[in-house]
């Protein structure tokens, strides 16, 4: 499809630079079939049925944004001097190696050692076709500990370009479900949840399940081609264990709906599902790219934030609800002052069953 179909005008002041406080006070646009209604996040339990299941991503964001300089001398290796380097880790490749999108990447060659401060050093060992660089970190400490010393929370570029990361972001850009460290972007739909909202969900009898998908920085990459068929998704690692898969299948067999909390949960469920809708255990990489025409196998609804024009995520919600419906919903949201993107408001998308 022509990527231009997924374009729309978004005023710059609609981009949220801070989350709603409290988190569950955010607005929520309900899109039920082709009907649109203004709600708030605290309405969520009343909009779902006791047989439904909310599926959360328990990934935990690591401080994967690094700033350093080429020219370090460590472990007997000395790099060429100079060049400031900015690196955003986006996918683990081994115990001590991570792929990174790099600012000033042309100044980095294989074998260069980069000093990221705090006693954290890494050697560039490989470059892929898209220009990402594979770094191997020095020393014996777990890389996660090194990042705690040298890294910052990797705010999305549309926020980071408008203000610096600060102490509030360490908590604001982490969901209450975060358990498994490894993401470099938050599953932001779950940022709206609080103990109060979860208690109301439980009281309603709505089940909650978790899976893990480590969100990569590739989620922020723009689509640079004119045709969706030519776009290449970056892969991300995810896991659904057998017990969780069994419970999800049982809920659907009893007539319940699986409501993915965030596009990351949706993408992993659909990656694990067979054509007949059965969800199998999953442990590995997924690069699933969902565009209009895709037949959903297991997901029956989605709670998500508002996405960028021409983005793969706006393509995904258009596949779920229909492009015309989503363009109307987004026009309504823009006119109504909804806040967009990672720290913005949410939307509950419920397609007509059998559509």
End residue of a domain, out of 150, 178, 199: 150
Least confident of 72-86, 88-102, 267-281: 72-86
Same domain, 53 and 75: no
pLDDT for residue 157:
84
pLDDT tens profile 58-78: 999 999 999 999 875 555 555
Domain presence at residue 281: yes
Same domain, 228 and 333: yes
Same domain, 117 and 209: no
End residue of a domain, out of 97, 120, 150: 150
Same domain, 174 and 91: no
pLDDT tens profile 279-335: 999 999 999 999 999 999 999 999 999 999 999 999 999 999 999 999 999 999 999
> Domain span at residue 307?
3-61+170-350
Average pLDDT over residues 340-347: 97
Domain presence at residue 207: yes
Average pLDDT over residues 222-244: 92
Domain presence at residue 165: no
Domain presence at residue 242: yes
Dihedral angle at the C-alpha atoms of 162, 168, 173, 179, nearest 10 degrees? 160
Residue count of the chain: 355
286 touches 268 (CB < 8 A): yes
Same domain, 39 and 85: no
Helix (H, G, I), strand (E, B) or coil at 128: coil
122 touches 138 (CB < 8 A): yes
- The number of folded domains in the chain is 2
Which CATH number fits the domain that encloses residue 43? 3.40.1780.10
Name the band, by pLDDT with cuts 50, 70 and 90, for residue 221. Answer: confident
Same domain, 19 and 73: no
Name the band, by pLDDT with cuts 50, 70 and 90, for residue 97. Answer: very high
Distance CA 266, CA 216 (A): 15
pLDDT for residue 355:
53
Domain presence at residue 277: yes
Distance CA 214, CA 206 (A): 25
């Amino acid at each position: 499809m022509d990527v231009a179909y997924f374009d729309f005008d978004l005023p710059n002041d609609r981009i949220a630079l801070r989350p709603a406080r409290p988190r569950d006070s955010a607005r929520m646009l309900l899109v039920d079939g082709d009907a649109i209604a203004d709600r708030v996040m605290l309405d969520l339990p009343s909009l779902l049925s006791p047989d439904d299941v909310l599926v959360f991503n328990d990934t935990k964001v690591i401080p994967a944004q690094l700033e350093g300089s080429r020219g370090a001398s460590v472990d007997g290796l000395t790099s060429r001097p100079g060049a400031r380097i900015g690196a955003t880790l986006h996918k683990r490749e081994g115990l001590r190696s991570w792929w990174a999108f790099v600012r000033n990447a042309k100044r980095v060659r294989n074998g260069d050692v980069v000093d990221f401060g705090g006693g954290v050093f890494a050697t560039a060992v490989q470059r892929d076709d898209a220009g990402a660089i594979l770094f191997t970190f020095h020393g014996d400490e777990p890389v996660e500990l090194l990042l705690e010393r040298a890294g910052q929370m990797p705010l999305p570029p549309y926020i980071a370009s408008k203000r610096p990361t600060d102490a509030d972001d360490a908590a604001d850009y982490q969901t209450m479900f975060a358990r498994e460290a490894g993401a470099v972007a938050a599953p932001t739909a779950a940022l709206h949840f609080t103990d109060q909202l979860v208690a109301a969900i439980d009281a309603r009898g709505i089940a909650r399940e978790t899976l893990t998908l480590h969100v990569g920085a590739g989620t922020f990459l723009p689509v640079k081609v004119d045709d969706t068929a030519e776009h290449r998704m970056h892969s991300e690692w995810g896991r659904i264990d057998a017990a969780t898969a069994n419970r999800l299948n049982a809920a659907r067999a009893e007539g319940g709906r699986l409501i993915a909390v965030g596009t990351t949960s949706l993408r992993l469920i659909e990656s694990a599902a067979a054509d007949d809708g059965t969800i199998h255990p999953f442990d590995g990489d997924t690069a699933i790219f969902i565009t209009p025409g895709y037949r959903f196998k297991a997901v029956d609804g989605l709670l998500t934030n508002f996405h960028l024009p021409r983005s793969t995520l706006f393509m995904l919600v258009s596949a779920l609800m229909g492009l015309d419906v989503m363009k109307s919903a987004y026009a309504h949201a823009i006119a109504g002052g909804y806040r967009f993107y990672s720290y913005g408001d949410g939307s509950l998308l419920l397609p007509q069953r059998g559509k």
